[in-house]
Structure 1
Amino acid sequence: MAVKTVIGVFENKQQAEKAVNALRNSGFDTNEISIVAKGGKKNNGNNGDEETLEMDTLTDGTATGGVIGGLAGLAIGAGALAIPGIGPLFAAGPIAGLLSGAATGGIAGSLIDWGIPAERGRYYEEEVKKGKMLTVIRAHEQKVQQAADLLRQNGAKDVETH
């Protein structure tokens, strides 16, 4: 059975969390689901804005009414990364390891390793730079259509399978 990649872009954390919950409720394992989001700015009260990843807001689960959020399960192995030309990122799931090992290639370079064409990888990297969230599912080919459908049903744009 071949492993394929499904990728999609979410406008905000709530959409991404809803999709991750749907994926997990449909039997997708946390080892199959990755999230990449750009870090934000937070006023530190002293010298203006400071770059931060606000990882706790991505993984605390409060957006799901007190139930452990979909992204919280991905927090294991999650990491804060600084990628040249992109800045601070939050990455959770298997892609975190790829990104940390390919800092010079950025998001696009890491996606190439998962079968995403270079030009599409650069597009998705630009979307993250704009503040959108990237969700990537690596699963056996019989689960790929279900993953793509769940992403679309939960608001993902530019969903592709490779």
Structure 2
Amino acid sequence: MSSVIGVFDSQEQAEKVLQELKGSGYSEEGMSLVAKEDENAAGNRQQGEETGEGMGYDENRTEMISEDQKLTSGTTTGGAIGGVAGLLAGAGTLAIPGVGPIIAAGPIAAGLSGAAAGGLTGALVDYGIPKEVSKDYKEQIRGGNMLAIYEGVRNEEEVTEIATIMQRNGAIDVENY
């Protein structure tokens, strides 16, 4: 089995990919998303925690924010998660050394919950991505891009279909590992 990874420069593109994959019959369990959290979102999330207001997707600011999460268990303990992160299970905010606050959703979120040791690069290496390529993806995230990952691809036909869906929806780069 392998993983197909697409790099996107907008949340809208990544959301469309995930929706199209689901619509094409691909399991949500194989979908992951990693994106840098906007620093304004982190501040708003903290302010919301202080005021008790729920968090969600702010369409005017085009960023993802979330309420209280426990990534180690992959379950939401707070209110609703909106936007693209809401499409996947286990979404939440996590501070990654060398990157800062990120949003992670799907199976990769559990791997990132122990990121203090290996960081984002280590979690991506665990996905079978070479270390040098993982470092590049880390820089992509740091620069504000998003990774959409589909893991558990069984054959070349699925690789081609998933890559085509990602490219059709604006992927900057698509790779298979």
User: TM-score range, shorter-chain basis?
Assistant: 0.7 to 0.9
Match of 2:106 among 93, 106, 109: 93
Q: Distance in 2 between matches of 1:71 and 1:89?
A: 11
- Structure 1 contact 51–88 (Cα < 8 Å) conserved: no
The CA deviation string for residues 47-100 of structure 1, in whole angstroms up to 9 with x for no partner, is xx9385997223525xxxxxxxx64220x2112111111111100000000111
Q: CA deviation at 1:127?
A: 0.4
> Does 83-92 or 138-147 show the bigger shift?
138-147
Equivalent-residue separation in structure 2 for 1:149 and 1:125 (angstroms): 23
User: Which residue does 2:87 correspond to in 1?
Assistant: 73
Q: Does 1:122 align with 2:135?
A: yes
Question: 82, 86, 99: which one pairs with 1:60?
Answer: 82
Is the counterpart of residue 50 in structure 1 residue 43 in structure 2?
yes
Matched, 1:26 2:12: no
Answer whether contact 1:7 1:161 (CA < 8 A) is retained.
Answer: yes
The corresponding residue for 2:12 is: 14
Q: Deviations over 1:103-149 (max 9, x none)?
A: 33221111111110001000001000011111111023222221111
More strand by share: 1
TM-score by length of structure 1 reads: 0.81
Query: What code does the residue aligned with 1:50 have?
Result: G
Q: Is residue 33–residue 108 contact of structure 2 (8 Å, CA) maintained in 1?
A: yes
SS in 1 for 2:165: helix
User: In the alignment, is the contact (CA less than 8 A) between 2:6 and 2:148 conserved in 1?
Assistant: yes
Could you state the TM-score of these two structures normalised by the residue count of structure 2?
0.75
**Pair 1:84 & 2:102 matched:** no
What's the secondary structure of 2:113's corresponding residue? helix
Structure 2 unaligned regions, length at least 5 = 49-54, 58-63, 65-80
Which whole-Å CA distance do the structure 2 matches of 1:50 and 1:137 have between them? Answer: 30
- Structure 1 stretches lacking a partner, 5+ long: 44-48, 62-69
Match of 1:40 in 2: 38
Query: CA, structure 1 residues 52+130, in 2 after alignment: closer, same or farther (shift >3 Å)?
Result: farther
Please, what is the CA RMSD of the aligned residues? 2.2
